[in-house]
Structure 1
């Protein structure tokens, strides 16, 4: 396996001995971004911790001026066989999915595969897609697979997988009046994809045993005094859950936009990020995540410009642990798939229409962090709001060692 080195699209700045400070910005804001060296006391997000070795020399540790940042972008996956002759020229499904395809599924593993294709290639890409048609297909899946229903467009049965949706293009937050939450793709305008869906990774599916671990015992919807516990599927889904023995709520208020759960969290203040680009120096929907020591420890699945602007109500930012995917080495004899949603293991690369089959994003600095079967964590970057809840900012992947170094604590999380 060869490694293709690409530079960050950011222009290196001259080091002053100070760590650059910037806030993740709200996609609802149209304000001008703050200067690169803004005051760190104004609630800035992802600010690297100063070290005792910092100086005013050009060699001091300044993440923004580190010219080595952004070079670890793409791994080439060699020896893949040629594309199938049935692949469409656009990289999308040859035919749009409809009731016929949805009535053929009999398990939630196959159902989520179809759901992924539908949302990625049709519903989120086409603002005119009829909502009643989407609701009808969701109803078919619920009946065929005998599982829970749908909550703001996300299936209860595999809620952990659905919660890991990521932008496929630059997005805009929908009006609050729609009551669609930040934690669902239905609350945003713009195409999405599911880069960490194990049901769409043939290399992972061929493994025996579980291929996904949830870190959340229960997800509750609705008011605190009358919560409804989501009915996540346990049969034939190859997902390990840390189940809480508490009984499910009886008030099935799935129309609420309030999501409640207990999870481990860390502050985001000790991290920074750098925009990544492709071979043509074009920004991609991914930014390199860097810890306070300047080490590449993961990736944030979004454009840096969309989580670095000043917000109207700057509040603390945190990472919350959701789940983890099982790692495996990419197979080298798999035919390139027709479906645009099928991807190699690890963190795949989206080219605007499909996941690239012969390339994947490098997940961390292998010279610093140890590889392992369950080492990469799926985390959500969240921002505190003055009204007393968090909002989703982005999904990220972080190495477990970088996570543990920040001394995570368990908290009650309320998302809207």
Structure 2
């Protein structure tokens, strides 16, 4: 499947993919001997990452001393501190009430997406392949009670959430008619690490605190250009989402579930100069890599194996990032957060999938806090795409700090995904 980016500018005639993107991190992967007394994460260059410094200095000297430079150590993971009340609370999020209750009793897409996420991760993709008939049967109560329909496996009413699926391990594209923008086009386990409905720091927050998620897209449409139909996303306070001020919930005819063409207008930047740096956890590479800008500064994360993202291709192409949405970020963990029994419940930030569940003792370091400022809406959820002639394909989902994004002078383009 492919993705086509259209604009008033001429389509690039040559491969603008920078050598910095395709080059490997500092050295090939190697097995790391982990001391029995302690397990610490590392980057692909084999260097143990320093322990996170709980005290952060804003001085120029500190910023200079710890800023990211090629070859220096970068903190790969951050410890989760003061998050867990006690070990006795380990099952506090594992009951039916926190999982969303009986599936037939769910009537809004915030709880519904939490259950959808669980079904996708632990059932629909757990065996490495997608069974469309079984999945439709399992999710029918959600679409019946919460409204809308599934478009190639993604719920249209929570479409912004649904586009942020990520590989939880090795995945491979199927030889099928499924579109590239859906996880249904791939064999392998997928999950939703950016889903606000499965993060206790967010979903348990009082509604008076406002929205937890902001979309950057006004309208998604499906179908051919001469017969487009708007995806009917939910505009409901229960979803805790904010849309652009000129967004209006669509009404009228339903989009075709058979259409594999998705269209929208989005802010974009070239991927020239960015590169991925592999992360290892417990001695194994994980499907999450640090994203470095053209100054070799850690400015985000990209949700796939570095070895997959940076694999040289015989087909030339141009890479771009497309802005989709933003999640609320908190500077401190909420005091009510507790370790979850449900494997798809995850801590705040970018969580680590250990093959069976999300890890609760640490999270991925999203950016260099001595270079980029923290803020509740500073991180942008983006899609990395690759142009091949007039078409492109979805490569991965990533998060980029707003300052690094703006430094690339983003432009708006019409995007067509297939």
Normalization by structure 2: what TM-score? 0.78
Q: Aligned residue for 2:340?
A: 337
CA contact (8 A) 2:106 2:112 kept: yes
Q: Could you tell me how far apart the structure 2 residues matched to 1:108 and 1:94 are?
A: 19
Q: Aligned residue for 1:121?
A: 122
Q: Could you tell me how far apart the structure 2 residues matched to 1:69 and 1:255 are?
A: 48
Structure 1's 195 and 71: CA in aligned 2 closer, same or farther, altered over 3 A? same
Which of the residues 363, 369, 378 maps onto 1:366?
369
- Could you report, residue by residue, the CA deviation over 1:303-362 in whole angstroms, capped at 9, with x for unpaired residues? 011111222422110000000000112135533111111111111111111111221111
Structure 1's 403 and 5: CA in aligned 2 closer, same or farther, altered over 3 A? farther
Structure 1's 246 and 224: CA in aligned 2 closer, same or farther, altered over 3 A? farther
CA RMSD of aligned residues (A): 2.8
1:262 maps to 2:297: no
Q: Could you tell me how far apart the structure 2 residues matched to 1:193 and 1:343 are?
A: 11
CA contact (8 A) 2:130 2:184 kept: no
- Could you report, residue by residue, the CA deviation over 1:198-242 in whole angstroms, capped at 9, with x for unpaired residues? 111111123321000000001111101111110101112110011
* Pairing 1:338-353 to 2, within 5 Å after superposition: 338-353=341-356
Normalization by structure 1: what TM-score? 0.78
Ranges in structure 2 where 5+ consecutive residues have no aligned partner: 1-38, 48-67
1:8 maps to 2:30: no
Q: Could you tell me how far apart the structure 1 residues matched to 2:354 and 2:302 are?
A: 16
Q: CA shift at 1:84, angstroms?
A: 5.3
Q: Could you tell me how far apart the structure 2 residues matched to 1:99 and 1:357 are?
A: 20
1:153 maps to 2:153: yes
Q: Could you tell me how far apart the structure 2 residues matched to 1:215 and 1:399 are?
A: 15
SS at 1:396 equivalent:
strand
Structure 1's 255 and 69: CA in aligned 2 closer, same or farther, altered over 3 A? farther
CA contact (8 A) 1:84 1:337 kept: no
Which of the residues 80, 83, 86 maps onto 1:76?
80
Q: Could you tell me how far apart the structure 2 residues matched to 1:237 and 1:122 are?
A: 24
User: Quick check: which one's helix share is greater?
Assistant: 2
Q: Aligned residue for 1:29?
A: none
Q: Aligned residue for 1:253?
A: 256
Ranges in structure 1 where 5+ consecutive residues have no aligned partner: 13-63
Q: Aligned residue for 1:227?
A: 228
SS at 1:355 equivalent:
coil
Q: Could you tell me how far apart the structure 1 residues matched to 2:109 and 2:336 are?
A: 27
CA contact (8 A) 2:168 2:191 kept: yes
Q: Aligned residue for 1:66?
A: 70
